[in-house]
Structure 1
């Protein structure tokens, strides 16, 4: 929900002439990065327990 709002507000700000395109992309990618890291760490920890 918040990620979508962030992207929509960033797109609107870029449309209004503000220079926030790069910042919007970086902030929008953080939740996805956390998800990928969580999956990777889960596999690593599970592999170490065997």
Structure 2
């Protein structure tokens, strides 16, 4: 437990930035899905006119 607390207070900016970036990476992928949403609706409309 002391090991985990030691590295954190030692450089909270370094270790915090690394893990935070990793956490932001996954959400980034989620955002991409949002962009795909607009494409998905285009697929259905395409079938309609077809």
Question: What range is the shorter-chain TM-score in?
Answer: 0.5 to 0.7
**Count of residues paired in the alignment:** 38
Task: Show structure 1 runs of 4+ deviating over 2 A.
Answer: none
Q: Give RMSD over aligned pairs.
A: 1.9
1:43 — aligned with what? 34
Q: State which structure, 1 or 2, has the greater radius of gyration over its C-alpha atoms.
A: 2
Q: TM-score, normalised by structure 1?
A: 0.54
Unaligned runs of 5+ in 1: 1-7
The higher relative CO (CA closer than 8 Å, separation ≥ 6) is in 1
